[in-house]
Structure 1
């Protein structure tokens, strides 16, 4: 195994257009160098693999599930893979969006935090005079006490929040993140365990950006917006730049 395989990154000869390309690579693993490298990173001995079957999942943090049969053993390894496809140098990617009430249920939000988030997304109109936007409030428009309460709650629940929005819960929680980037000049990929990604994207300080959004490490929390003014614009969303993961690779 070479250092590039160990580090989990490689320049790709051809870009990946969608999850189906990833699935096809795994299903043709015996002839596909990328799939062989991915399986090696996942700690499988290629000589011991009997069969690989990859399937697409919808509605979960896992996009592709890989089932690996091992020779001479009645064992099937299952790996849940989250795929991030990027076609630019930087590519902000929505990793989760829901109504505030759904997050409140998931994370047992106190009523005061629920109200703050709903004013932030616009479900509740602004409670200040001359807001920057008549439809909603930005975090720096809340009182110092409200900002402190929100910061404290986010800090206290940071591990749970980061895990839920990146890994998910249950049997289809993602265990790996594969970022595949194809631009006009190059194609490359990076594959990392989800535990590594949770730490990388979520371990830095909590802060308020110049635009008035909270950041949890490298994860931006913001009002969804857009949607031609429909109510769904008032949802809360979390975004990352998956290409940041390439910075963890030293070749």
Structure 2
């Protein structure tokens, strides 16, 4: 069973970035937190001979790679596990899971021209085509015609499986296989949950609909214009966001808590 961890003293020092997770895994023989992570991934600790974790360099969904050497029935096996890590300090905060310029999504998802045209107005690559827009820089989905809104809903509904896999799991050698959320509450306390990426995709999946504000929701995922950046071009990127701590709700949270 996946566990939510409370009160680990391991979080007292070094909780800055992925190095915290890397160092924890690499000290697995002495570190109870690492042992519980490995057990959550399905390993029998008695069969593990070595664990080596390192940071994945570059822009990939997985942040760290963990190599686990095990010995089962006189056979030596090596598992390579790619883990996406979310270190958060606010249980109500949102975390970016993917952002790119529209041209990158066009290549990735073969977005047709009519859908691309709508998205260009949405992110601000095109100036608003209506009178008195809410934002002079761009348009919200609820400012488009009903026909245009239906086109957006249809495209993202029909391609939802591919889109969810790309923004949460990724493709290729460093696609994410596991999703680790660590919530640091106080100086000495943390909560964590570790799930397979397929469980995470299923959890965040849901109906495609427009938000009241005029962005797009894919289940528990929000698609919006990036914005900010002092007016730079990068503000026109398309961005997907989640609240990683919502994953704590996918198990009987209170019954999963342990104290260290």
Question: Per the shorter chain, which TM-score range?
Answer: over 0.9
Contact map agreement 1:12 1:189 (CA 8 A) in 2: no
Counterpart check, 1:55 vs 2:57: no
Contact map agreement 2:178 2:197 (CA 8 A) in 1: yes
Q: Distance in 1 between matches of 2:41 and 2:180?
A: 12
Partner of 2:192: 189
Partner of 1:3: none
TM-score, normalised with respect to structure 2 = 0.91
Partner of 1:36: 35
Partner of 1:179: 181
Partner of 1:8: 3
Which of these residues, 207, 210, 213, is aligned with residue 209 of structure 2? 207
Q: Distance in 1 between matches of 2:214 and 2:43?
A: 45
Unaligned runs of 5+ in 1: 1-5
Contact map agreement 2:97 2:167 (CA 8 A) in 1: yes
Describe the superposition over 1:224-248 as per-residue Cα deviations: whole angstroms up to 9, x where unpaired.
0001110110000000000000001
**Secondary structure of the structure 1 residue equivalent to 2:75:** coil
Describe the superposition over 1:36-91 as per-residue Cα deviations: whole angstroms up to 9, x where unpaired.
11111111111111100000013110001000011343321011100001111212
Q: Distance in 1 between matches of 2:70 and 2:223?
A: 42
Which of these residues, 239, 248, 251, is aligned with residue 250 of structure 2? 248
Describe the superposition over 1:141-195 as per-residue Cα deviations: whole angstroms up to 9, x where unpaired.
0000000010000000000001100000001000010000012384200111100
Unaligned runs of 5+ in 2: 256-260
**Secondary structure of the structure 2 residue equivalent to 1:243:** helix
TM-score, normalised with respect to structure 1 = 0.95
Q: Distance in 2 between matches of 1:227 and 1:194?
A: 31
Alignment of 1:124-203 (within 5 A): 124-184=126-186, 186-202=189-205
Which of these residues, 85, 107, 113, is aligned with residue 115 of structure 2? 113
How large is the RMSD of aligned CA atoms in angstroms?
1.2
- Report which structure shows greater RCO (CA 8 Å, sep ≥6): 2
- CA drift of 1:7 comes to 2.5
Q: Distance in 1 between matches of 2:28 and 2:215?
A: 43
Describe the superposition over 1:170-221 as per-residue Cα deviations: whole angstroms up to 9, x where unpaired.
010000100000123842001111000001012x111111111000000000
**Secondary structure of the structure 1 residue equivalent to 2:79:** strand
Q: Which sits farther off after the overlay, 191-200 or 176-185? A: 176-185
Alignment of 1:54-73 (within 5 A): 54-58=53-57, 59-71=59-71, 72-73=74-75
Q: Distance in 1 between matches of 2:30 and 2:138?
A: 54
What is the aligned length?
Answer: 245
Q: Distance in 1 between matches of 2:2 and 2:8?
A: 18
Q: Distance in 1 between matches of 2:21 and 2:228?
A: 30
